[in-house]
Amino acid sequence: MPILQLIISRLYQHVLELKLWLLATMICAYMVISWILFFLAGETGLTGNPLTFIYFAATTASTVGYGDLSPATEAGRMVAAFWFFPGALLIFSAVLGRLTGVLVEGVRRMADGNGNYERVQNATVIVGYHRDKTPLMVENLVAGQDGDDKIILLADSKNVEVPEGVRLIRAERMDALQSLRRAAIPGAQKVLVYASSDAETFNTCLAIRELNDTVHVAAYFEDRDTARRAGKLAHIEPVVSSACEALVRAAQDPGAGQILMALSTAGLGATIYSAVVESGAGTETDKLEQALSSAEGTLIAVSQPDDPDFLFRPFPKTLKTGGSIYYLANKRLAAGEIEKGLGGADVRITV
């Protein structure tokens, strides 16, 4: 008796939850019984072809009722009126309700940050949330015109105001590998790390490198030594607050602080952008400077692939393959715009 009660209890629970296996079983049983009843009623036009019967069942259950198929005998009409119509409506409503529930649950999980974007490729991932800074970061990413159309935010805060168009992943720890996987780190295009502490930022950068050893990672640190250490060990681009330097510049040269802020903010006049020069031989920097000028850009610095230091004017005569250029422009220049100004030289630009 207890076993029978347990079976009935579990079956009742599955009925309430509309388990998929139970729903599929009900549909199959209903279709078989309906076919037998119509066959016994002499409805050969409906039961002669299985596809015809399925089509009749679908149009009836969905209340479309084209009228091209219908019971022809009195017995068949009675079967339809007292068995097929009520059952078809009931099962169709159950299926529709189950599908709607699954979709609503999926949307709710995504909105609550419990989704999984592991299969998303070429996303821009922001790790860490700050109520005032994160929306500004998203705004600058979009304004930077660097293909940041898929932005994923990984946050451990419970109160997150997700900017429009941003997908949320909620986690208890920023450096947890499973959370980083859900945030599409393995296939990410670029990653921005701004955690609540330097220690968490450092650990997160190391964890990101476990999942993706080629993605470009930019991380913010308060301490310069920690930033230098992270750059060396995790092979990331560390960013340290330059508030002190900007404050001195603003005091000594009025307006310099505002200029520095404008140069780092996309969409507010000229902004600093970068590009990589790829070619078979050394590229003359004066030609690069002319090419940028023709596209309304201004070359401000270059870097050689084997030298971490930035080189300002006077620039070296040639730039090695894989070297980078840094320029000012009102918008990011496409690779073709820069290459066009080189006058057909065998140089490839990557932006």
Q: State pLDDT tens for residues 66-85.
A: 888 889 888 988 988 888 88
- Taking the C-alpha atoms of residue 180 and residue 114, their distance in angstroms, rounded to an integer, is 12
Residue 303 has pLDDT above 70, yes or no: yes
Can you give the pLDDT at residue 287?
87
User: Are 332 and 350 spatial neighbours (Cβ–Cβ below 8 Å)?
Assistant: no
- Taking the C-alpha atoms of residue 174 and residue 154, their distance in angstroms, rounded to an integer, is 7
User: Are 183 and 197 spatial neighbours (Cβ–Cβ below 8 Å)?
Assistant: no
Q: State pLDDT tens for residues 136-194.
A: 889 888 888 788 889 999 998 778 888 888 899 988 889 999 999 999 999 999 999 99
pLDDT band at 283 (very low <50, low <70, confident <90, very high): confident
Please report, rounded to a whole number, the percentage of residues in the chain having pLDDT higher than 70. 87
For 270-350, CATH gives 3.30.70
Residue 17 has pLDDT above 60, yes or no: no
Best CA proximity match to 153, nearest among 200, 205, 188: 188
Can you give the pLDDT at residue 1?
47
Which CATH class for the 2-111 domain? mainly alpha
Q: Which residues of 149-168 are buried (b: 16+ CB within 10 A; e: fewer)?
A: ebbbbbbbeeebebbeebbb
The CATH number for 124-241, chosen from 3.40.50.720, 3.30.230.70, 3.40.50.1220, 3.30.930.10, is: 3.40.50.720
Q: State pLDDT tens for residues 322-346.
A: 888 998 888 888 888 888 877 655 5
269 versus 26: the higher-pLDDT residue is 26
**Can you tell me the mean pLDDT for 107-113?**
63
Question: What pTM was estimated for this model as a whole?
Answer: 0.65
Stretch(es) of the chain classified as CATH 1.10.287: 2-111
pLDDT band at 93 (very low <50, low <70, confident <90, very high): confident
Cα(first)–Cα(last) distance of the chain, in Å? 73
pLDDT band at 284 (very low <50, low <70, confident <90, very high): confident
Give the total residue count for the chain. Answer: 351
Can you give the pLDDT at residue 7?
58
**Can you tell me the mean pLDDT for 269-297?**
82
User: Are 14 and 22 spatial neighbours (Cβ–Cβ below 8 Å)?
Assistant: yes
Stretch(es) of the chain classified as CATH 3.40.50.720: 124-241
Output the six-digit token pair for 267. Answer: 């969409």
Can you give the pLDDT at residue 193?
95
pLDDT band at 262 (very low <50, low <70, confident <90, very high): confident
Crossing angle for the helix pair 224-233 and 198-211, nearest 10 degrees?
Answer: 10
**For the chain, how big is the Rg over CA atoms in Å?**
32
Stretch(es) of the chain classified as CATH 3.30.70: 270-350
Alpha helices in 268-309 (DSSP H): 285-294
Can you give the pLDDT at residue 94?
79
